[in-house]
Amino acid sequence: MKKILELIIEPNSRKRKEFSQTLSKLAETLQSSSLQINDSEDSPTINIIVRWETAAEMHRALKGDEFAILSGAIAALCEKTTIRLNDKLVANHISMLAKIKKN
């Protein structure tokens, strides 16, 4: 069963460029996943959508270094985060990404 993770992130306005640079580097590493990043100067939010074919693939990716770096960058540089899995709200804080990792 396909898994779709969506992160709706609002970076701190003073740290948006730093966050975008971190995200750009991570996107290069995560190319094996189906990754979509919507980062518009006109919107205060950045949407990240990642698709996996199976739950096992998702769990492996979420336990990897790339998602640890992404979680740390979000915690340090962003003000708001919404986490959705398969179009259902999971949490409103990046620390809750661990909840998905365990399930």
Q: What's the CA gap between 51 and 38, in Å, rounded? A: 14
Among 3-7, 14-18, 42-46, 93-97, whose mean pLDDT is lowest? Answer: 93-97
Give the pLDDT score at 39: 87
CA distances to 66, 78, 100 from 17, rounded to whole Å, are 19, 11, 28
Dihedral Cα 4, 42, 16, 23, nearest 10 deg? 30
Give the pLDDT score at 79: 93
Hey, what are 90's tokens?
A: 């999971």
Q: Across the chain, where does the E strand assignment appear? A: 3-11, 34-39, 46-52, 78-85, 88-91
Decide which of 3.30.1240.10, 3.30.70.100, 3.30.420.40, 3.30.70.1140 is the CATH code for 3-102. 3.30.70.100
Q: What does pTM read for this prediction? A: 0.87
Evaluate whether 50 touches 4 at the Cβ level (below 8 Å). yes
* pLDDT exceeds 90 at position 5: yes
End-to-end CA distance of the chain: 14
In the chain, what are the domain boundaries? 3-102
Residues 6+ away with beta carbon under 8 Å from 68 = none
Give the pLDDT score at 29: 74
Give the pLDDT score at 102: 66
Give the pLDDT score at 25: 81
Tens of pLDDT along 21-73?
A: 888 888 877 665 588 888 888 889 999 999 989 989 888 888 888 888 889 99
Tens of pLDDT along 59-94?
A: 888 888 888 888 999 999 999 999 999 999 999 988
